[in-house]
Amino acid sequence: MSSTEAEALENKSETVEAAHDHEGHDHNHEHRHGPVLNPDCTRELVIDIPAEEVAAAYRKVAANYRRYARIPGFRAGKVPESIIRRKFATEIRKDVIDSLLPERFNKLVQEQGVRPVGQPQVTELTVDDNAPLHVKAVFEYLPDFSIEGYRDVKVDKPSVDVTEEEYQQELNQLRDSRSTMEPVEDDRPLADGDFAQISYKGQVEGEADAAPIAGEDALVEIGGPSTVEAFTTALRGAKVGQELKAEVVYPADYQEPKLAGKTVAYELTVKGIKKRNLPELNDDFAKEVGGYESLAELEAKVREYLANRKRRSVENDTKDRLMAAIAERFNFPVPESLIQEQVDNRLERGLRALAAQGMNPDQMRKLDFERLRAAQRDSALAEVKTQILLDRIAHEENVDVSEEEMETELQMAALQTREPLDTLKGRLTQDGGLARLREQIRREKTATALYERLPG
């Protein structure tokens, strides 16, 4: 028989809660080891409770079970204590542990002057009626370290002004989205700017047994920025009906992973020539795009949209670089439990995205989660370091979150989730989400304050 003990430490607080689940046991002395912790921010606690206190706790818990137990053949409250202790041995043992340990854990942690995180791991546990209770546990804590000089860390702060080139590019993309493709009826060769309608079949070099890469009615822009140069060279000057060959050497960083770094021999057939017709930039175009009264109104909205987008992009990128620079300056041990919690969060977001893309549970179960976890660790570590630093800086700067700010965020969240505001608040209150939201807003305000101090 085996026994399982689960110990819970209240996250980001200075109180310890120990709860224990049991499956039954025939001995009361255990040596257990949980996940690997960071030894540079780990403490050990040893608790020894005298036998008379343990015996008193057993009597008190057993009496409570006796008062409410319903056992056939006995009236309520009249079941012999020996039967109660035998029938509910596992539950009584759990309640005894829960009544004796939390307060002592809390007191010892406070005496050590550290802030525990994650869950404590009980490595030794001896408990039995009329015998001393012995517990040895280890837990991780947030390290104390200096952030002196954090205000001196600077990074470049790019301009958020929209250039004319950026504006024209956005406008051209808007025109492209409303363009039409029309066939070219003239019997003329393909020229730059044309779109060749082709069928193709390609064989990867060194993979003779692999199925060929094939397609029908693909459109290839001659000389287009996203067109592989070998296709442009082969197709430029060709006419409808011609059969051509092209050898393409894909770069190692090609956007299609299955072709990256490979050489493919293609056979091409030109089936048609098409020309893209762009709409004219005028008031009619503005009305068609979004019901604007004039082209001037559309252009003003495009500039406003670009300005907002660039400002957000520059600010977010600069904040990331600034926090990376601060994290590089201040080295400190990071609790492994926080890193693994962040890995869990990242994997959960990834799995939700895969589910949204159509991956079913059976396919998900086949994923190599050990490899996925390992791949996420470095990013998770960087995120946790940033969060710890922002919390320390927020404390130094006296950054706080007002109730008005919380209410605004909650209203936005309710709109996004299409959930009544009161229902959302109740749910977040129960699962600790309100505290996490307040923490997130505080970090964002702190990062914004650091960004706004940058010169430029």
Diameter of the chain by CA atoms?
A: 105
Q: How confident is the model over 365-399, as pLDDT tens digits?
A: 888 999 999 999 999 999 999 999 999 999 999 99
Q: Are residues 271 and 301 in the same domain?
A: no
Confidence of residue 13 (pLDDT cuts 50, 70, 90): very low
Residue 22: pLDDT over 70: no
257: tokens are 């992973």
Residue 28: pLDDT over 80: no
Does residue 24 lie in a domain region? no
Confidence of residue 74 (pLDDT cuts 50, 70, 90): confident
* CATH number for position 66: 3.30.70.1050
Q: Are residues 90 and 136 in the same domain?
A: yes
Residue 229: pLDDT over 60: yes
What is the number of domains present in the chain? 3
Q: Are residues 436 and 317 in the same domain?
A: yes
Q: Are residues 416 and 298 in the same domain?
A: yes
Confidence of residue 33 (pLDDT cuts 50, 70, 90): low
Q: Are residues 422 and 334 in the same domain?
A: yes
Confidence of residue 68 (pLDDT cuts 50, 70, 90): confident
Does residue 151 lie in a domain region? no
Question: What pLDDT is recorded for position 4?
Answer: 30
Residue 23: pLDDT over 70: no
Place of tokens 């197709």: 235
* CATH number for position 202: 3.10.50.40
**Mean pLDDT, range 315-321, rounded to an integer:** 97
Question: What pLDDT is recorded for position 2?
Answer: 29
More confident residue, 316 or 31: 316
Does residue 22 lie in a domain region? no
Does residue 174 lie in a domain region? no
In a 10 Å sphere around its CB, with 0-12 CB exposed, 13-18 middle and 19+ buried, how is residue 435 labelled? middle
Does residue 150 lie in a domain region? no
Question: What pLDDT is recorded for position 432?
Answer: 87
User: Which amino acid is present at 212?
Assistant: P
Q: Are residues 334 and 435 in the same domain?
A: yes
Q: Are the CB atoms for 255 and 261 separated by under 8 Å?
A: no
Q: Are the CB atoms for 30 and 22 separated by under 8 Å?
A: no
Share of residues in the chain with pLDDT > 90 (%): 71
Q: Considering 218, 247, 277, which residue would you say is the last residue of a domain?
A: 277
Does residue 155 lie in a domain region? no
Does residue 15 lie in a domain region? no
Q: Chain-wide mean pLDDT for the chain?
A: 88
Q: Are residues 367 and 300 in the same domain?
A: yes
Q: How confident is the model over 165-191, as pLDDT tens digits?
A: 999 999 999 999 999 999 998 889 999
Question: What pLDDT is recorded for position 34?
Answer: 59
Q: Considering 277, 312, 334, which residue would you say is the last residue of a domain?
A: 277
Q: Are residues 333 and 394 in the same domain?
A: yes
Q: Are residues 207 and 335 in the same domain?
A: no
Question: What pLDDT is recorded for position 20?
Answer: 39
Domain span including residue 363: 294-453
**Mean pLDDT, range 283-311, rounded to an integer:** 93
Residue 140: pLDDT over 70: yes
Q: Are residues 185 and 110 in the same domain?
A: no
Question: What pLDDT is recorded for position 14?
Answer: 34
Does residue 324 lie in a domain region? yes
Q: Are residues 388 and 267 in the same domain?
A: no
Residue 32: pLDDT over 70: no
Nearest-angstrom CA–CA distance, 326 and 394: 14
Q: Are residues 360 and 414 in the same domain?
A: yes
* CATH number for position 425: 1.10.3120.10
Q: Considering 86, 115, 142, which residue would you say is the last residue of a domain?
A: 142
